[in-house]
Amino acid sequence: MNERGTIPYGSVDRLEQSCYRELQNADILVSIVGGRFGSGSDMQPYSISQQELKTAHELGRQIYVFVEATVLGEYRTYVKNKDLPGFQCIYVDDCRIYEFIGEVERYPVNNTMVPFSSTREITDFLREQWAGLFQRYLQEQSRTKEIRIIQQLQETAQALDKLVAYLADQNKNTGEIFQDILLSNHPAFKRLKLLTQTPYRVFFTNIAELETWLVARSWTRDDAPFEPPYSWTTKPDKDGRCKRIVVQTEVFNEDGKLRAFRPEEWNEDWINEEIVDILDETITDDDVPF
């Protein structure tokens, strides 16, 4: 319908090329196939209308193909008899129309062909199809807010990724820093402060420092060789009883350094206090008269 002026054309390209170029601005192509082949295209063996449909398909446009009912009916006959000598088409003026219908059928998508006998059937079909497209559009509009939130979350995640990468680059010794944080708030400090009734902050990094601190507070190590479990005892009171602190193996590593624990990993039973009766411990089997 270029004669109505709706398709702009220039002074350099042929009008045919202007038709194909205009498809880049179109969203939907309605192709009506009847019995007339129409004007031939420079791109043989197609007509201009056929080449328009091919171009729209290549551009990924939505295509609606309507084929005159008598033409589509004879197409089935043509498929079965085209190789017979003397076969002639009745409802089309050029059998290339049927060849093109077969080509459209082989499209993986956009290959639905609707038979029609009147223009009313075409308009009714398009009205239903476009109503569905409009409904889909409204649904997508209602999801715009959700999509915007997802995009914002993606942008936030990207920003966090960049921040983590920056911090990792700036602090290549992040593991050591994390260990220092855990050690500075070690649950063993709180446990020993409670058991020894120490009024100030307790801190040590290895078994030797713990030994020095306890000895300074009048605790005596029990075991001569320093082997786990480690224990220290106070001086006995007038009743011959004293307190003993026992530290289990799990608190220190093989080198005697304090292990780092998260609060949920710590076990209070690893450092315990017990009351010891010195008189009972000094009695041996040789003291028993029987």
Strand partners, 29: 63
User: Which of 230, 244, 247, 229 lies closest to 280, judged by CA?
Assistant: 244
Question: What pLDDT shows up at residue 288?
Answer: 47
Query: What are 19-48's pLDDT values in tens digits?
Result: 888 888 888 999 999 999 998 888 889 999
Alpha helices in the chain (DSSP H): 15-22, 48-58, 69-81, 96-105, 119-142, 144-170, 174-184, 187-196, 207-216, 278-282
Query: What are 226-269's pLDDT values in tens digits?
Result: 677 888 998 888 888 899 999 998 999 888 889 888 878 899 99
Instruction: Name the pLDDT band for 18 (thresholds 50, 70, 90).
Output: confident
d(CA 278, CA 136): 88
Query: How far is residue 205 CA from its own chain's centroid?
Result: 42
Phi, psi of 276 (to 5 degrees): -120, 135
Sorted by where each begins, the domain ranges of the chain are 2-142, 145-172, 181-287
